[in-house]
Structure 1
Amino acid sequence: MTPDTVAVYQQVRPQADYIRREVMVPMRDGTKLFTVIVMRKGTHGGPILLSRTPYDAGKATWRNPSQKIEEILPVADAEFVNDGYIRVYQDVRGLGKSEGDYVTTRPLRGPLNPTNVDHATDAYDTIDWLVKNVPESNGKVGITGSSYLGFTSLMALIDPHPALKASVPQSPMVDGWVGDDWFHNGAFRQPNFDYIVGQTAKKGGAIADGTGEDYDAYLKAGSAGDFARAYGIDIFPAIRKLMEHPAYDPFWQEQAVDVQLAKRKLTVPTMVVVGEWDQEDSYGAPAVFKALKDKDPNAPISLVIGPWRHSGVNYDGSSLGALQFEGDTGLQFRRNTMKPFLDRYLKDTPADTSPTPAAITYASGINQWQSFAHWPAGKATPLYLQADNSLSFTAPATAGQERYISDPAKPVPFVTQPVHMKDRAVWTTWLVADQRFVSSRSDVLSYQTAALDKPLHIAGAPQVDLFAATSGTDSDFVVKLIDVYPEENSAHPALAGYQLPIGIEIYRGRYVHGRATPAALKPGKVENYKFGLPNVNHVFLPGHRIMVQVQSSLFPLYDRNPQTFVPNIFNAKPGDYRAATQTIVHAPGAASAVWLPVVE
């Protein structure tokens, strides 16, 4: 009757080719953060590559129970640990096995954070501990990671530790209101409810809203606020903060990481990375690059744009949806660009010391990597909407307009129904989904060029310059820039006639005269809506057409605009949701256009 339970089994056996240590690193306020240090056996004088995560450092460093280092770490780490790097993952305070309180994207010390700690100080204290307590290192540290980890990588640049020598933030969360996770130009992104509940509920981390279709579930609930209240998730502090701050007030302004970084001189060489079809954080990396380059043209920062989804840089980058690329573009970047960049600043004797170009981007359409000395690389060139639903580089000579009825009871879906936003296959590819599924809707206007007779190369962020009016007192406008493939395409039959989005963005009309000061629109008054599409490097090939689509909803990705002005759309009532007639204008002095960054 000997008891069969064993107190501890050490999974890492003597034959393992790596060392894995779990430690609690003390912060300046006494809080200890769970940290995992992994390196190949025999490592000596190795650079440290740090990632600070809310997604469980333990799991990140134990991907598979194995005695091989490549198997326990994420795929993207292989090039580094196989060349002497020491890989470190750390749980941010309050999550995983770390002590302390968790605050979503904890703001910097200041008006929104009266404590003496934030992600900048935690990064500093962690780096200080690592260089003093990891004898296998050379005392040089780099920081990287994607999404939230990209955010913590950027925060480490604020008052950085002297040992921090390089940073590679990927798809970082930078401004949650203007164009990253929580809102886009004031329109609320409803999948955030699931994200926040999953991340911050200690028990029961999923909304029990059934297994049905998201389009119907959110439509029946009413406003986004009604949905939150119906499922009791309005008790979550992070959700309440979103609902209480629908406008770009100081709550958001003080958290804008690009603004905070621009207040300081960048001293750490940095490479910001984003995917051309990043469905979560398309705004942040280019915004940080622009803010720092505007302040100092010689700032040590470069921008990388690859043909990826959100965080796709760290996985197989051979394809995205129906698109096929020339090889594994994620591996190409990590091996040919990211690692040489980090080697240059972290290794004692780097093999390559050549300077990094200002921008390294993948030209979709022709499938090749390109480098530019400045970004944007193209010249802003207007492509005008015309009266016959065409597009032209010539401004309209006479006045014209098109109308459509936007009905909140029948919003335009962002993907083909049924909509399942939790389905990874849907969520990671919706930005490259064929747009023919909405082209025939009466509440979607489509404008397109004739078939191109020569390539058109754009490199930068296309800018929307839309003149529009509504019969309501509030409205959203969605603009899509689309590459329309030829109807006959025997080389790639799956792409025959395909309407490939190159950029999709939304703008909430109440903010047309000020993002911090929402106001009712005057029915029938033409307003000028200006906003950017995501940064891209794309070539429209001969035989293709360029299309621009305009609509007023993108549901249930974004909450519905009731089209009746209310102080806070989260609290809109059923009677506030009314159909409205939308008018798109193209006339001398009010010429609606999308300004393309055309490479000469």
Structure 2
Amino acid sequence: MKFKHLALTTALALALAAGPVAAQSGPSAISGAVEEFAAMRDGVKLAANVFKPTGKGPWPVIISRTPYLKDGPKDRENAPAQLASQAKRYTDAGYVFVVQDTRGKGRSEGAYLAFENDIEDGYDTLEWIAAQPWSNGKVGITGGSALGITGNAAAMAAHPALKAAYVVVAPSDLGEYRAPGGVPKEKDTSGWLREQGVEDKVIEASRARIGDDVFWNRGSMSAKRKYIRIPMFNVGGWYDIFSEGATGNFAWLQNHGAKGARGNQKVLMGPFGHGELSGDLAYPAYEQALKSAGDQELRWFDHWLKGAPNGIMDEPPVSYFMMASARKGAPSPKNRMMTSANWPPAHREIRYYLTADKGLSPAPPTAEASKTTYRFDPAKPVETVGGANLTFDRGPMDQRAIPERQDYLRFQTPVLDKDLVIAGPVRVELNAATDGADTDFMAKLVDVYPDGYEAIVLDAPVRARFRNGRMTDDIKPMTPNAPEELVIDLWGTAITFEKGHRIALHITSSNSPRFEVNPNTGEAPKGARLKPRVAVNSVYHDAAHPSALVLPVIYPED
């Protein structure tokens, strides 16, 4: 499998798009392409580069819909050559390749509204493709990141011409991605939207709407994937900003999807992020596995658009990389690809309970009263070090970069006397309290190496007032100093905590600039008037209020 397309997508994601310029159909700025325009239902015309194979058509078609400019950013000299090379890969395989500027981007007309029009525009674009003389009426859609989001939108639109999709690193819900646990992502969401030319007033209005409402669910996969009727191949990364989207969309469509979707899904999860990983870990076994895997994307489309008997549907639906000790230059042989019939694989939930001495124990606590208290000052947030980031350092970075501080709690197991292997969803059941109406709690799953390297595996937050959910009736302030359970969904992973390592859970109340810093006032962002305050937060670990890290343990035969 090759990820040149993904690499290009990620690189272009950081480029600021130019304003739209309407034009007549004709030669494209990219070699080998013809620029054509498709009219949407409201009359807006969207520009596309169309690359055709040699010979006589019509042919099956593969399309990507991009906000990152079909002709490439003007300041990237090699973009046209890269895009032409990408297109040649499809045309050499016997497909027309279409790459279209989304509404308001590049040479397309209209206003850019960050994925708000892509269900309708996706449908209308497929209607246009199906009517072209070079199209045989069978279409596949492909793309990563923002292009994966537009691919999901087109799949939900359920045009009959769309026969299959290949989606790389895309979310299930933009609302959940932009504010996991009700905590807005600061640098990646607000920063990315600004790079795309979205006005600050629009960004602030979005930040003010963290609750669950129709605004967020209009393009939500979890709300509308029931309309998808096609086979989809999802690709995700364990350190990617959208990792839950790949596994979550696969699992739902594979097991509960409509006719055409159910039972026809595949997912591949690898040890990569939304760009190059930072830190001292590397996974050469994954790169080697890709070299020997062949081009899964073209095999996928050959099967579903051409009826090629290539055996791809005889292979396991789930392929995932089991991470293990992976210091650069000394990776463990326990890093390897694994397969399963479904996601998550069959597993047993095991709890590691927080203890008063900063330990993690499989034994439930017995103390009548036990808690750890710290002061969270929003003026002095904990700095982000790695994790699933987009626009800055990402991946399994060493959390020792965060110094010892009273508001950063490190709980860990004794040194492991045998391997512990997990694959599936991870969560934290945290009994906690604050002295005000609202605050945040952050959790990190960490693999501690024998030399002390603290490799972050997963991290996620919860905003206390959203502890029961984001529907209007669920949102409620905390009762000061009264402990309540707050569940932190860390999403999923697959990792072997090897003998000699420790498993750690880090708890704090800030992670900046990854997440917005809570002012601890309980006010909604819009119209906030109170000054930020220092919160006194407590994590409980007694018999009546146990806190635990919940891990999905599997038992591979080897």
- In terms of mean alpha carbon deviation, does 192-201 or 360-369 score higher? 192-201
Say which of 200, 204, 208 aligns to 1:244.
208
Aligned partners of 1:74 and 1:327: how far apart in 2?
A: 27
Paired position in structure 2 for 1:187: 183
Aligned position for 1:403: 373
- Whether 1:303 and 2:267 are equivalent positions in the alignment is yes
Out of 500, 506, 528, the residue aligned to residue 549 of structure 1 is: 506
Kept in 1: contact 2:441–2:463 (CA 8 A): yes
Deviations 1:240-277 (A, max 9, x none): 43143132233224442221113x3x420012222111
Partner of 2:165: 167
Report the 3-state secondary structure (helix = DSSP H, G, I; strand = E; otherwise coil) of the residue aligned with 1:161: coil
Give the whole-Å Cα distance in 1 for the aligned partners of 2:307 and 2:361: 55
Output the CA distance in 2 between the equivalents of 1:361 and 1:142: 24
2:308 corresponds, among 349, 357, 363, to 349
Q: Specify which of 406, 409, 414 is matched with residue 445 of structure 1.
A: 409
Task: Work out which of the residue numbers 340, 364, 373 in structure 2 matches 1:372.
Answer: 340
Structure-2 change in CA distance of 1:296 and 1:246 (3 Å): closer
CA distance in 2, matches of 1:426, 1:260: 26
Aligned residue type for 2:101: D
Residues 112-511 of structure 1: matches in 2 within 5 Å? 118-133=117-132, 135=134, 138-178=136-176, 180=177, 182-191=178-187, 192-200=189-197, 234-235=200-201, 238-262=202-226, 264=227, 266-278=228-240, 280-293=241-254, 295-296=256-257, 298-310=262-274, 312=275, 321-325=279-283, 326=285, 328=287, 331-332=290-291, 335-365=294-324, 366-377=334-345, 378-399=347-368, 400-415=370-385, 427-438=391-402, 440-487=404-451, 497-511=452-466
**Equivalent runs, 1:536-575 vs 2, <5 Å:** 536-566=493-523, 568-573=524-529
Deviation of residue 581 (structure 1)?
Answer: 1.9
- After TM superposition, give the deviation of residue 74 of structure 1 in Å: 7.7
Q: Give how far 1:547 is off.
A: 0.4
Equivalent residue number for residue 49 of structure 1: 62
Give the one of 43, 61, 68 matched to 1:30.
43
Shift of 1:477: 0.4
In 2, Cα distance between the equivalents of 1:501 and 1:443? 18
Q: What displacement does 1:515 show?
A: 1.4
SS at match of 1:273: strand
- Residue 439 of structure 1: how far off its partner (Å): 5.0
CA distance in 2, matches of 1:543, 1:392: 16
Q: Check conservation: 1:169, 1:271, Cα contact below 8 A.
A: yes
Contact 2:152 2:167 in 1 (8 A): yes
State the distance in 1 between where 2:217 and 2:305 align.
34
Output one character per residue of 1:297-325: Cα deviation in whole Å (capped at 9) or x when no partner.
94422332211112x5xxxx8x6542221
Checking the alignment, whether the CA contact within 8 Å between 1:413 and 1:556 is kept in structure 2 is yes
Counterpart position of 1:491: none
- Superimposed CA distance per residue, residues 416-435 of structure 1 (whole angstroms, 9 cap, x where no aligned partner): 9xxxx9xx999453342211
What secondary structure sits across from 2:383 in the alignment? coil
User: Is residue 2:483 matched to residue 1:521?
Assistant: no
Partner of 2:102: 92
**Matches of 1:169 and 1:333, distance apart in 2:** 21
- Whether the 8 Å contact between 1:302 and 1:356 is mirrored in structure 2 is no
Deviation at residue 513 of structure 1 after TM alignment:
2.8
CA deviation string 1:131-166 (max 9, x = no partner): 44253x554221111222111111112242222111
In the TM superposition, what whole-angstrom CA distance separates every residue of 1:484-523 from its partner, at most 9, and x where no partner exists? 1111xxxxxxxxx321111000111111133133322111
Flag the 1:363–1:60 CA change in 2: closer, same or farther, 3 A.
Answer: farther
Which residue in the other structure is 1:222 paired with? none
How far the C-alpha of 1:41 sits from its partner, in A, is 4.2
Alignment: residue pair count: 512
- Residue 556 of structure 1: how far off its partner (Å): 2.2
Deviation at 1:12? 8.8
Once residues 505 and 471 of structure 2 are traced to their aligned partners in structure 1, the CA distance between those partners, rounded to angstroms, is: 29
| Gap change, CA 1:241 and 1:516, over 3 Å in 2 | same
> Residue 215 of structure 2 aligns to a residue in which SS?
helix
Once residues 207 and 272 of structure 2 are traced to their aligned partners in structure 1, the CA distance between those partners, rounded to angstroms, is 31
Say which SS state the counterpart of residue 128 (structure 2) adopts. helix
User: In structure 1, what is the Cα distance between the partners aligned to 2:292 and 2:546?
Assistant: 40
* Secondary structure in 2 matching 1:328: helix
Q: Aligned pair in 2 of structure 1 residues 413, 59: CA closer, same or farther (>3 Å)?
A: same
Alpha-carbon distance in structure 1 between the residues aligned to 2:404 and 2:304: 53
Normalized against structure 2, the TM-score is what?
Answer: 0.83
Output the CA distance in 1 between the equivalents of 2:335 and 2:76.
32
Any stretches of 5+ residues in structure 1 without a counterpart?
1-9, 107-117, 202-232, 488-496
C-alpha deviation, 1:293, in angstroms: 4.4
> Which structure 1 residue ranges, 4+ long, deviate > 6 Å from structure 2?
10-13, 60-63, 74-78
Preserved CA contact (<8 Å) 1:272 1:304: yes
Within 5 Å, give how 1:74-89 maps onto structure 2: 80-89=90-99
d(CA) in 2 for partners of 1:554 and 1:508? 13
1:330 Cα deviation after fit: 9.2
Using the alignment, how far apart are the partners of 1:187 and 1:330 within structure 2?
37
Instruction: Tell me the distance in 2 between the aligned counterparts of 1:88 and 1:234.
Output: 33
Residue in structure 1 matched with residue 331 of structure 2 by the alignment: none
- 8 Å CA contact 1:157–1:268 kept in 2: the answer is yes
In structure 2, distance between residues paired with 1:536 and 1:43: 47
Post-superposition offset of 1:90? 0.5
Describe the SS at the equivalent of 2:38.
strand
Shift of 1:42: 4.9
The 1-side partners of 2:310 and 2:249 are apart by: 29
Distance, in Å, in 2 between the alignment partners of 1:474 and 1:499 is: 30
The whole-number CA distance in structure 2 between the counterparts of 1:74 and 1:309 is: 25
Structure 2: how far apart are the matches of 1:234 and 1:336? 42
CA deviation string 1:26-74 (max 9, x = no partner): 22333221001224545866542211111111218997669xx9x4328
Q: What amino acid is aligned across from residue 362 of structure 1 in structure 2?
A: F
Say which SS state the counterpart of residue 32 (structure 2) adopts: strand
CA contact (8 A) 1:76 1:334 kept: no
Q: Which sections of structure 2, spanning at least 5 residues, go unmatched?
A: 1-25, 325-333
CA change 1:255–1:425 in 2 (3 A) is: closer
Alpha-carbon displacement from aligned partner over 1:207-252 (angstroms, at most 9, x marks no partner): xxxxxxxxxxxxxxxxxxxxxxxxxx543xx314314313223322
Determine helix, strand or coil for the equivalent of 2:156. coil
The RMSD of aligned alpha carbons is 3.2
In the superposition, relative to structure 1, how do residues 578 and 79 fare at CA in structure 2: closer, same or farther (>3 Å)? same
Rounded to whole Å, the distance in 2 between the matches of 1:391 and 1:433 is 22
Is contact 2:271–2:321 with CA below 8 Å preserved after alignment?
yes
